[in-house]
């Protein structure tokens, strides 16, 4: 299988006036793109507004019927047998068991109090995390504050990338009504 490589010939810009002309074309394309996106957004908004009442009506029916089916399922556990779901012709209903999670025992507890209780007992200290990590922000702040700071002995260096950007001057975009 042979891959064909397509090369795009970039325009060669030799003078500042040529660069100005290319930038003008870029700005024109960017402004046209914004106008087209604005028109698309207006069409999408109109379609959403047109269909919103129907969607809301469907949502109301789905909520009401789901609530009715849940009430029936909770009132008739014998229908499930040993299973957690029942398959009907038009769909399946049932109960899902979520993954285990921890919750506070009562309002008298908060996570700080739980942590203090764990710290107080040697038996429960194994449930406390300690996370060691490099404080990158402090190292960068030290390097910024002291130009002679050398992070090399730590196996680090402070780097800053420089990237090229083009920012066209954009005009106001009218919204189609």
Pair 129, 84 in one domain = no
Pair 25, 95 in one domain = yes
Pair 92, 61 in one domain = yes
| Enclosing domain of residue 113 | 102-157
Q: Is the pLDDT of residue 3 over 90?
A: no
Other Cβ atoms less than 10 A from the Cβ of 130: the count is 4
Indicate whether 131 belongs to any domain: yes
**pTM to 2 decimals?**
0.57
- In this structure, what token pair is assigned to residue 125? 């200290």
The total domain count for the chain is 2
Mean pLDDT of all residues belonging to the chain: 89
**Residue 168: half-sphere exposure toward Cβ, Cα within 13 Å:** 19
* Domain edge (last residue) among 81, 99, 117: 99
Pair 145, 120 in one domain = yes
Pair 21, 84 in one domain = yes
The span from the CA of 109 to the CA of 104, in Å, is 6
The span from the CA of 97 to the CA of 84, in Å, is 9
Indicate whether 60 belongs to any domain: yes
Pair 88, 36 in one domain = yes
Instruction: Give the residue-averaged pLDDT of 102-107.
Output: 92
Angle at 158 between CA 156 and CA 163, to 5 degrees: 135
Pair 69, 95 in one domain = yes
pLDDT tens for residues 17-59? 999 999 999 999 999 999 999 999 999 999 999 999 999 999 9
Pair 95, 108 in one domain = no
pLDDT tens for residues 64-100? 999 999 999 999 999 999 999 999 999 999 999 889 8
Of 19, 13, 1, 33, residue with least CA distance to 173: 33
């Amino acid at each position: 299988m042979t891959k064909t490589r397509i090369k795009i010939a970039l325009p060669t810009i030799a003078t500042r006036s040529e660069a100005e002309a290319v930038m003008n074309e870029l700005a024109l394309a960017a402004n046209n793109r914004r106008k087209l996106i604005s028109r698309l957004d207006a069409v999408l908004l109109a379609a959403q507004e047109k269909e919103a009442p129907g969607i809301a009506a469907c949502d109301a029916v789905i909520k009401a019927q789901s609530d009715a089916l849940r009430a029936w399922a909770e009132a008739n556990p014998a229908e499930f047998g040993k299973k957690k779901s029942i398959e009907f012709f038009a769909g399946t209903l049932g109960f899902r068991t979520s993954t285990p999670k921890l919750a506070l025992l009562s309002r008298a507890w908060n996570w700080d109090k739980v942590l203090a209780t764990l710290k107080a007992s040697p038996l429960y200290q194994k449930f406390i995390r300690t996370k060691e990590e490099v404080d990158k922000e402090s190292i960068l702040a030290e390097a910024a504050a002291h130009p002679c700071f050398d992070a090399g002995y730590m196996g680090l260096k402070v780097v800053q990338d420089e990237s090229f950007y083009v920012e066209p001057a954009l005009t106001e975009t009218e919204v189609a009504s």
